[in-house]
Structure 1
Amino acid sequence: MIIEFDGEVFRWDAREDSSWFFTSVPPELSEEIREIPRPYRGFGSVRVRARVGGSEWTTSIFPSSGSGSYVLPLKKAVRTAEDLIDGGPVTVRLEVLDG
């Protein structure tokens, strides 16, 4: 399964000194991902290949508590290479590897 979406970069604010940044997979696409049969992985994570601009990497998306959406972590190397900033836009292509 391959999905594409536009999102917004946000900083994980559970701790003041957090340097973790994410974007949310839209709820309707998150629901489609949840429906894919697959073995359970820790924290309900789903393995994906992500692409933002010219950057591609393998990672996992995680269910976000309360929102019903998955979140994609955006590592610093990707944020730097693609000029992503907190609150800024991001266009994502995800290939779901689990399932």
Structure 2
Amino acid sequence: MPRHAVVETNAIFGFNRVQPIVSGQLPSDVHNLVARHVLNQESLLQAALNKDTEAVFHAFVSDPQVNHLPPEKAKQLFIRMLENTQEYLPGWAVEF
């Protein structure tokens, strides 16, 4: 997993501070689950920065919460998401 990856963790919140709770290394089975999401998010970010709709779609359908959908259903959902967020995506081609 890349060292710059951002993952959720537990923390203690106090006045003007956030103190992470360090738990050490992830167990290998958990690491594998997290690594898959991190790598997919890295791909998604690069594709989004390049405004590459095809690459964003590929990352989208690779997500474990989406990859169980039939391809046509995933494509419909992706297009609907692009259409509904078009005002926040200047320069993006919504046509897919």
- Give the TM-score of the pair, scaled to structure 2: 0.26
- Counting helix residues as a fraction of each chain, which structure ranks higher? 2
Bigger fraction of residues in strand: 1
Compare CA radii of gyration and give the structure with the larger one. Answer: 2
If asked which structure has higher relative contact order (CA below 8 Å, sep 6+), I would say: 1
